[in-house]
């Protein structure tokens, strides 16, 4: 997928999460989560700029999702302890900003991987444990219709859930 397609997939993955966060009274956290997922939608493609890293290698794996989730966890811990920031999601004491940060980081990467799974080249989710790629071969990464369609669908679904959350529909 190209940028438009990845942005669309990120919006689609975020939609139920954003709606749920608004539903439990955390619209600010929903906005932060959506913003991070959109801003970093292309993060796994950093491998294009790293000469020793093959494309759709380490940065396109669940291990990378966990690494980025770990960075999100650390940011959440700093926000919670240093800035004294908190969100009550009604999930109990074991679910604070570090866990939210992990989820946001990991989901951002996973959304990208889902987009690339739609292409014939697929994704090696289990790198470095396996060389097997997973693909549904729906469309080539450079397919303009697929990329624009995913982007449009992401916009449509986002507009829908935001409208529902605000009581407009």
13 in Cβ contact with 159 (< 8 Å): no
Predicted pLDDT of residue 130: 96
Q: Fill in the DSSP letter of residue 45.
A: G
For residues 94 and 11, which has the higher predicted lDDT (pLDDT)? 11
Residue 161, φ and ψ in degrees, nearest 5:
-70, -35
2 in Cβ contact with 100 (< 8 Å): no
pLDDT at 4 over 90: yes
Per-residue pLDDT of 125-143, as tens digits, reads 999 999 999 999 999 999 9
Residue 91 pLDDT level (bands cut at 50, 70, 90): low
Which residue ranges make up each domain of the chain? 3-165
Mean pLDDT computed over every residue of the chain: 93
pTM for the model: 0.92
3-state secondary structure 12-24: HHHHHHHHHHHHC
Predicted pLDDT of residue 87: 66
For residues 55 and 8, which has the higher predicted lDDT (pLDDT)? 8
Residues 6+ apart with CB under 8 A from 28: 87
């Amino acid at each position: 997928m190209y940028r438009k397609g990845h942005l669309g997939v990120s919006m689609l993955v975020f939609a139920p999460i954003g709606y749920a966060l608004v539903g439990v009274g955390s619209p600010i956290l929903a906005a932060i989560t959506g913003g991070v997922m959109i801003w970093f939608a292309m993060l796994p493609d950093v491998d294009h700029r790293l000469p020793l890293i093959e494309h759709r290698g380490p940065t396109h794996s669940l291990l990378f999702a966990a690494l980025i989730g770990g960075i999100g966890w650390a940011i959440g811990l700093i926000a919670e302890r240093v800035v004294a920031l908190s969100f009550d999601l009604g999930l109990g004491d074991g679910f604070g900003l570090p866990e939210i940060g992990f989820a946001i980081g990991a989901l951002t990467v996973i959304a990208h991987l889902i987009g690339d799974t739609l292409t014939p080249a697929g994704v090696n989710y289990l790198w470095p444990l396996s060389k097997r790629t997973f693909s549904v071969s729906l469309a080539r990464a450079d397919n303009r219709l697929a990329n624009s369609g995913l982007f449009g669908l992401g916009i449509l679904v986002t507009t829908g859930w935001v409208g529902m959350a605000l009581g407009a529909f």
